[in-house]
Every structure is written in structure tokens, then in C-alpha cells.
Amino acid sequence: MGQAIPRYEATAKVTGQPLYAADEPIARPLYAFFKTSGVARGTIASLDVRKAEAMPGVMKVYTHRNAPPRKAVKHIMTGGYMSDTNIPLADNRVRHDGDIVAMVVADSYEIARDAANRIEVRYAAQAPAATFGSPGAVKKVPEQAQKNAKKAGDFAAGWSRAPVKVDARYSTPTQHHNPIELYATTAVWNGDQLTFYEPSQFVYSTANGLAEQIGVDPAKVHLVNPYVGGGFGGKGILTQRTALVALAARDLGRPVKLVLHRKQAYGLTTYRAETRQRVRLGADRNGKLVAFAHDGEEVTSRADDYMVGGVENTVEMYACPNIATSVTLVKADRNTPGFMRSPPETPYMFGLESAMDELAVALNMDPVELRRINDTQKSPISGAPYTSRSLMQCYDQAAAAFGWSRRNPRPLSMSQGDWLIGWGCATATYPTNMMASTARIRLTADGKAVVEVAAHDMGQGAYTAMQQIAAKRLGLDPRQVTVRMGDSALPPGPVAGGSMTTASAGSAVHTAAGKIAARFGGAMPAPNDLDDAFRRLGVTQIEEYAEWWPPGQGPQAVRALYKGSMGGGGGEEGEQQEGNAGGGKPMMAAFGAEFVEVRIHRLTREIRVPRMTGAFAAGHIVNPRTARSQYLGGMIWGMASALLEATEVDAKRARYVNDNIAEYLVAVNADVPQVDVILVPEVDTKVNPLGVKGIGELANVGTAAAIANAVYHATGKRIRDLPITMDKLL
């Protein structure tokens, strides 16, 4: 493992120095505020903006009657850039709750907001389809789902023969990201050059996508965003707000700043869509799986066929000869969902890992033992080996630390006073995704280096990882290394998504540092000797630029990266292909095992989680300190998604009910008294030169199932519908 040095930007952050997107000081900005729709489906019957326009300080009100045109750009999953291809203000239609019906631009935020509230809209509303089972919701199996469907042997035959079976249906709710940093955009034109500031997990994609939407040369569009105040996937894709702000700024000849109200982010950015799943597990009497089918349904918008399709991942978890999967989309009158914290694994591993626990109960077998019996070192689909897989080492270490051997397996068997105690466990996994990346490093004779890559740090520790990787290869003290990220003027890096930053951008940084070392004949001089070494080379600085692409990809992946494309042979779209490659490509994934204790009050059914223990193996760990933080945060996310997080969708009106962090519950410190993290050493020489797997989205996978399994152990009640709330236990 690497050194546990403190976070690169720690001091800057705790002293309030970083400028987040909306903090950027801009001379004489105008402020934009959206008027958003109060119905989910219909047309605008009348729109009266006179009161808004008459307010002193209002510069302009944009509606579908006068909004600047934007080019239709494809969704990011189909080779474009957008999170949602519905173009607001292009016509008088309303397509989802919180759709944009007008934009006010004024001298101040307060005036813009006040004016927006004075716009009078009447809708010719139609009955919207909200979710599964709503009249008008249309089922669709997209081509992608058919392509990704996984099959081994003959599921029907295996299922009919299996002596022990679990056939269960699970569901997971709509969830929204709720980052502390709001979704903001500030656009500043300087002649025909546009600079904009907005939180982004992929600056090259956002800048290129905006350029295409507004018909500007991408070389003239510059996105600056060195710090992201929480992303979780929601800041990964260009939304429709950005072009409206940029075009208003050009139209009005002044910078325009927009900060979405928290409520508005529910309709105008992405979210995790609700799923419904059926899991069928068949086993022989010894617990060996003989049949596994995982079928999912996910909600999406009318406009886009976004899907996460995690069933392709779950069927890679355990050895099993007969496998089948399917994913069906349900198209409703909703904004398009998108990436959120292990998009495929979080909902679908809840289904599988709950079903594994149910199977262990049916077999009267210890749930850890059931995983051991069915553990595999190769894909049950393609037969391709995992480059490394330490799942059972994780189970053994976590079980020992947790004290699992003291568990009485019978439900309702453990208690203390009025509290029923339950212990449960589940598997965590995350595929090792990688994308091409570039990096530039400048080393000067004073032993200082500057690393530049347009990757992103949304709190996960990417600055620190890049600093350490460069320092190690250059033989420098990490404190001598400056890292610049989050700016589309820097050499391109990967999306801060799919947990691939360290593996991808880190590999490019490592390669660039290697090129610098090569200038000295391969071995870096000691920092004190650099001055002499530079003099001998007759230079005052050395700059190297490197391009790196994952095994199996080529230079076209770098060209795609420069265009901000995810389709260059990796990325979120490649998530299923990369992590679960069929056709004999090696399997690359990180694993973990999570154990939780729940306490449920006998009478009130209040649920507490006094402790969680997770052990994780993810190849080389660049920084055990920041990695531990990632795992802690992940398990806390997982706990929140098991017990708290849910966006309630009004089934009649297709509107988000608790659309504010004040009513959308997330975990607070009091919810998580004790979390223990074990880093299980793992050496993987095949994934990439650094041996690094992704960890950011690993630890939140499996937690929900571990909690549901513990709830069953405590109460004898199997809750298959998240979140697990008190009412479901009465």
C-alpha cells in the first residue's frame, strides 16, 4: 500500500479557500432563475410574464416564445453528451415535474426569483404516468438490454431440477443526490470565447457538449471547475440548464449566473430511478447454485432509454451453470434518470444478496458458508478468470473482526432489554472500470513538479492520489508536487464516474512521470541532485505529456476522450463490458464483505445500526487514509439507502413529494455510531500498471442487503422493499 498522507487540499478546504463554481468572483453578473412547471405532463395554455417583466431590475424573461434555439444533442449513453434530451423552452410542452417553463434574468438573484414567482402559467394538463403500473407507462426492452443480457446453460432446466429454491421480488426506491454544493452555472463571454463555471465530474464532456448544443467551436469553450462539493453521479452529465445560461449571457452581453434551487434540482438533474426485480436462485441440498435468474424493471423518461442494467453484474458473482437475465424499461412522464453511486450494483446487489440470505435460511446454512461454497475465480458466463478476487479473504477478516462466530442463527434469538438484535452480512463488488487519460508533468530543477490532468476531485481524494503517484515515480516528497485538475484547458482525463479516476488518470500520470525519468536514463536522480542533473542536460525544466489507454483499447480512445466522449471504449457505458467482459476478456473487479448489527425496538420498531464492519480488497491502495474514508462514506451511504433515502413520487401527479434535503433523509453522525474498515491486501498485476482497482463506489454496494438480512435475523421479517422503515416492521 501507499503512504497514508493527509489529503492534498485538506488545509485549503478547512480554511474555506477553495472556490466552488458559484463562488467564482465575476464582475457585474446578471442572475437567472427558472420558473418550473407545476404539472408533469401537458401544454402551456397561457403564460403571462408582464408582471415579471415590469419589475425593476428584470432584464429579460425567456419563454418558449423567445428562447434561443439549441441544437438537439444525443444522450451521453448513445454517443452524445446530454443527461436528458428533452429541450426545455423549445415548445409549449411540459414533459415532467419541474420542467423549465421560463427563465428570468435580472440584476440580482432576489429580483430574478421574485419575478419568476410572478409569472402566471395555466396548463392544459394531461394525466401523467408516474411509475411502474401507472396507466400510460410503456414497457420497452431496449436494444442495449438485449445486447447485455447474460446467459449460461439452461436456466429453465436447472430451475426445474433444483431441490431448494428462492423466488422473490425486491424493489428499490427513487433516490436523488442532494449534494451540499448546489447545481450552478455561470457563463462569461469574452468576444466569441466562452468561459463557464459549473460543478462537473467530466469537464471535457460538459464543455464539448455545450459547444455542440450552442453551435460554437469547442476550442472556444472553457469550463473551469477545480472543486466539486459532492457529486455522486449527478454532476457527471451535461444538463439542459447550461446552454440556456450561456445563450442568455451572449444575448444580454453580460455574465449570467444561475444557482438552481434545491427543489429544482429534483427535476432538472438526474437521479436514481426506482427498480423492481425478481430473483430466482436454485441450489442443490449442499448449497451449490444450479440456477440463477435475475430480471429487472427500471423507470426512465419518455425521451431517453437510460438504464443501469445491473443484472449483468449480479450474475457474475457466484459459480452457477444455468443463468438468465433481463431488464425492461418502463417509460413514464419523468425527467431522465442517470448515474448515482454504483448505478447498477446498488439496487441489483440488494436483490441478489437478500436472496442469497433467503437461500441460506432455506438451506439452514450459514450465509458466509453459502458464499464460500459458491465462490468463483472465473466468470460463470464466459469462463474468463478474474485478474484477482479476494472475496472470501474479505469475508474471513470481516467475520473475525465482527465476531460472527458468536451469532445464533435463529431469528429473534438475540436481544438486549427491549431491543431485538440482528446480525447480517452481504457481498460488495464494483467492476474495475477504466478510460483513456492523458497527463502533463513539469519538473523543475528545484525539485518541484506540477501535474496537470482534467480529472476531478469531488471529495474522493483524487488530488492526493495524483500527487502521490507522481511523487513516487519522480522520487519526490509529495509536498513538492502541485496538482491541477478540473479545467477543460488541461490535458483530458476520465469522467469522475465508474470509480475509475485513480486507475485511469493515475496511469497517465505514472506514464508521464516515467517519461521524465527516461530523460535521466530511467532512474530519477535524488531531489538534491536534480539541480546538477538538469545542468548536465542543459535544461531548466522538463515537461512530458503522456497518453494512456486501458488494455484492449487504442489511440482512438484518446481521440474520443478529447471530444469528451464516453464511447471511446470505456466509461460508464463500458461499465458492463469492462467489468464483466464476456468473450474471454479478463474479469476485473474489487470485492468486499460487510457485516452489520441492527437493533430494533420490540414495541416501536425503531431501527438503529450500532455497528458495521467492512473488509475490502481492491488491488493496490494508493493512500490507505483516503481509501478508508471512501469505504467509511460508502458504508454510510449504503446504510442511508437501506433505511432512509427515498424520493416519494406522487402516483397520480408524477411529482416528487419530498423534493428538498429538508425532507429527503440522509444519514447523520448519530445514525452511525461505529464503522470499522479493514483493508485486505491484494496484488493485481494485470488490471493496469499500478495494480489499482476502483474503490469509490465499492463500499456502498451490499450494505443495504446486509442490513435487510440483519433485520430478518432480528425480527423474522424479510423486508424486500427499500427503504426499511418502522412501519414495514409493525
List the catalytic residues: 697
Tell me whether residue 84 or residue 357 sits nearer to ligand MOS (CB atom).
84
**CA distances for 694 relative to 239, 310, 435, 519, 617, angstroms:** 26, 17, 12, 31, 10
Cis peptide before 173 (omega within 30 of 0): no
CA distance 463 to 468: 9
| 309 in contact with ligand MOS (CB under 6 A) | no
| In contact, 272 and 174? CB cutoff 8 Å | yes
Nearest to 296 by CA among 172, 138, 135: 172
C-alpha cell recorded at residue 623: 493512500
Q: Which residue's C-beta sits nearest to ligand MOS?
A: 233
Tell me whether residue 475 or residue 567 sits nearer to ligand MOS (CB atom).
567
| In contact, 259 and 186? CB cutoff 8 Å | no
Instruction: Mark the segment that binds ligand MOS (CB under 6 A) among 40-48, 239-247, 333-341, 698-706.
Output: 333-341
| In contact, 485 and 457? CB cutoff 8 Å | yes
Task: Give me the 451-490 binding string for ligand MOS, x by CB under 6 A, dash otherwise.
Answer: ----------------------------------------
| 322 in contact with ligand MOS (CB under 6 A) | no
Q: Please pick, from the candidates 339, 404, 520, 591, the single residue that binds ligand MOS as defined by CB under 6 A.
A: 339
CA distance 228 to 206: 14
Count residues binding ligand MOS (CB under 6 A).
10
Place of cell 443495504: 704
Task: Give me the 164-203 binding string for ligand MOS, x by CB under 6 A, dash otherwise.
Answer: -------------------------------------x--
Q: Please pick, from the candidates 344, 367, 497, 633, the single residue that binds ligand MOS as defined by CB under 6 A.
A: 497
Tell me whether residue 339 or residue 348 sits nearer to ligand MOS (CB atom).
339
CA distance 445 to 473: 16
Task: Give me the 672-701 binding string for ligand MOS, x by CB under 6 A, dash otherwise.
Answer: -------------------------x----
**CA distances for 172 relative to 115, 646, 679, angstroms:** 39, 9, 29
Instruction: Mark the segment that binds ligand MOS (CB under 6 A) among 277-285, 337-345, 636-644, 654-662.
Output: 337-345
| 340 in contact with ligand MOS (CB under 6 A) | yes
Task: Give me the 498-527 binding string for ligand MOS, x by CB under 6 A, dash otherwise.
Answer: x-----------------------------
**What is the nearest approach in angstroms of ligand MOS to the Cβ of residue 504?**
12
Q: Please pick, from the candidates 343, 380, 494, 592, the single residue that binds ligand MOS as defined by CB under 6 A.
A: 343
**What is the nearest approach in angstroms of ligand MOS to the Cβ of residue 55?**
39
- Map the footprint of ligand MOS across residues 227-256, applying CB under 6 A: 233, 236
CA distance 675 to 667: 13
C-alpha cell recorded at residue 85: 434530451
User: Which residues neighbour 125 within 8 Å (Cβ) at sequence distance 6 or greater?
Assistant: 39, 41, 42, 94
| In contact, 67 and 145? CB cutoff 8 Å | no
Instruction: Mark the segment that binds ligand MOS (CB under 6 A) among 90-98, 134-142, 334-342, 594-602.
Output: 334-342
| 341 in contact with ligand MOS (CB under 6 A) | yes
| 607 in contact with ligand MOS (CB under 6 A) | no
Burial of 522 (0-12, 13-18, 19+ CB in 10 A): exposed
CA distance 608 to 420: 10
Residues forming contacts to ligand MOS in the complex (CB under 6 A) are: 201, 233, 236, 339-341, 343, 497-498, 697
